[in-house]
Structure 1
């Protein structure tokens, strides 16, 4: 997930590729707070925190995708022709970084608690 936030997420013509901080700085900060919480949950072996971070990241990704779509359509609202608005907003393209983020989220939402394994008593060979 941490690497996916720095990958190109949106391509805007003339301006170039944007990552999470290019799209919106506050969304980028929220995303990396979730990433830090996930790292903390992994180090402390807290499966509930890991699952929460996974679902929160999915919700944030969906929110960000919707925000980019609405912003690109709203940005060109000064044009009075619907076809030109769709053409102009269609020039904003989603990039491959979203797949990297989702590939990082999938292990988080599928994590399970580790059940302690019962130890089999070891019988020395001299007693057997």
Structure 2
């Protein structure tokens, strides 16, 4: 049987939703960009996944909640990899890409988002039923 640690889940959801407003990318002239400014599709898919996780938490669909938290971990890895590759191969030219990759930097928003995702992942616990 799988149970949800409610405090981990609520804090993880709050951190994940609030992390979308933290700086994810440092752009030289424009300043810090949040997740929406980095990529709108990335933002909307991330918020959709988090919204489904929140819905599953409130309707107590524990198995589906557990699978969606795992999907959110995979989505985090895909999104951070996609942003990294976009920074390092933006134009497809060697000189411009090297210049761009030196000027754009990942920010601390990714770490905040990772903490929220890890709390969501740790919020499910499998317990052994003693009914015989």
TM-score norm. by structure 2 comes to: 0.72
Cα displacement (A) at 1:89? 0.8
Match of 1:107 among 98, 116, 119: 119
Find out whether 1:11 has 2:23 as its counterpart. no
Match of 1:34 among 45, 49, 69: 49
Cα root mean square deviation, aligned: 2.5
Superposed CA deviations along residues 49-80 of structure 1, whole A, max 9, x for unmatched, are 322222222222222222222212222544x5
Cα displacement (A) at 1:90? 2.2
Q: 2: CA distance between counterparts of 1:70 and 1:98?
A: 15
Equivalences, count: 115
Q: Mark the runs of 5 or more structure 2 residues left unpaired by the alignment.
A: 1-15
CA contact (8 A) 1:9 1:96 kept: yes
Q: Mark the runs of 5 or more structure 1 residues left unpaired by the alignment.
A: 119-128
Greater RCO (CA < 8 Å, at least 6 residues apart):
2
Query: Normalized per residue, which structure has more strand?
Result: 2
After TM superposition, the runs of 4+ consecutive aligned structure 1 residues lying more than 3 A away are 113-116
Q: 2: CA distance between counterparts of 1:67 and 1:90?
A: 17
Cα displacement (A) at 1:3? 0.8
SS in 2 for 1:17: strand
Cα displacement (A) at 1:29? 0.7
Cα displacement (A) at 1:11? 0.9
